[in-house]
Amino acid sequence: MIECFRHMGAGPNEQLRDSETQIRENVFRVQERIAAACHRAGRRSEDVTLIGISKTVPAEGIRQAYNAGLRHFGENRVQEATAKRPDVSDLTVTWHFIGHLQANKAKAARELFHWIHSVDSHHLAEKLEKAAVCEGERLAVLVEVNLGEETTKSGARESEVATLIDRIRHFPTLEVRGLMTIPPFFENPEHTRPFFRRLREMANKIEAMRLENISMRELSMGMSNDFEVAIEEGATLIRVGTAIFGSR
């Protein structure tokens, strides 16, 4: 009987330990790759924030990544974040919203997230502003730019970004910290480099305008397949899911 149990596979506790070990190893490898990319670019590793993209990952997976040292997590659906947050409410986490945000979800998103990476219209910014509850509360936002002009992706057009930012800066509870982009997918990550470079150059031009209440310090760009190239081109926030949590 004992021999039979040995061949029935790992029990739940062992599976949990194996999962946590794998996530810990994945986080370590990603951090090594970040350090190497920063070294090539002459940058400091501490200037790049690793965001674990936890969409479809259960609360236990988030807890395992937290135990591995991760403190920033990203979700792309308000409903999913609402369901998971109570199970990890004891963790000190910075939450990032990285998906397309519908205006009717602005209030819920403002309550759930510390950062919104995907502001792409004045209308959405206005909804986020109106959702502020506490006086003096500031929400960190990034303006999403659709550099590839893909119809399947959200984001403001490149030609619209400066005007959009100039309008958003008058909302007192929104703090524009920079730009975000999701370039077209390429098997060869080098092909994404021109898009990342364009976002950095755009941020530099906007920074030179010296608009009040606007900072272009943060560039959210780069995912599991291309974050090293993004770092070399100036990314400060990288959004990594598969390389940490595995395929979903």
Report the pLDDT value the prediction gives residue 4, as an integer from 0 to 100: 39
Any alpha helices (H) in the chain, and if so which ranges?
2-6, 12-41, 59-67, 78-84, 106-112, 122-130, 161-168, 193-208, 227-232, 242-245
In this structure, what DSSP letter does residue 113 have?
Answer: -
Report the half-sphere exposure of 88 (CA within 13 A, side-chain side). Answer: 27
Per-residue pLDDT of the chain (248 residues; tens, 9 = 90+): 334 333 445 566 666 678 899 999 999 999 999 999 999 999 999 999 999 999 999 999 999 999 999 999 999 999 999 999 999 999 999 999 999 999 999 999 999 999 999 999 999 999 999 999 876 789 999 999 999 998 889 999 999 999 999 999 999 999 999 999 999 999 999 999 999 999 999 999 999 999 998 999 999 999 999 999 999 999 999 999 999 999 87
220 alpha carbon, distance to own chain's centre = 7
How many residues comprise the chain? Answer: 248
Name the token pair of 2. Answer: 């004992």
Report the pLDDT value the prediction gives residue 151, as an integer from 0 to 100: 86
Q: What is the pTM of this model?
A: 0.91
Decide if 123 contacts 103 (C-beta within 8 A).
yes
Question: What are the structural domains, with CATH classification, of the chain?
Answer: 2-245 (3.20.20.10)
If one counts every other C-beta atom within 10 angstroms of the C-beta of residue 207, the result is 14
Q: Which 3 state secondary structure label does DSSP give 61?
A: helix
The angle at the Cα of 143, spanning 141 to 148, to the nearest 5 degrees, equals 150
Could you tell me the sign of the dihedral formed by the alpha carbons of 33, 37, 43, 48, in that order? negative
Report the pLDDT value the prediction gives residue 137, as an integer from 0 to 100: 83
Report the pLDDT value the prediction gives residue 16, as an integer from 0 to 100: 62
Picking from 223, 227, 224, 177, the residue whose alpha carbon sits closest to that of residue 203 is: 177
Report the pLDDT value the prediction gives residue 134, as an integer from 0 to 100: 75
Q: How far apart are CA 244 and CA 54, in angstroms?
A: 9
Report the pLDDT value the prediction gives residue 133, as an integer from 0 to 100: 81
Q: How far apart are CA 80 and CA 11, in angstroms?
A: 28
Report the pLDDT value the prediction gives residue 128, as an integer from 0 to 100: 97
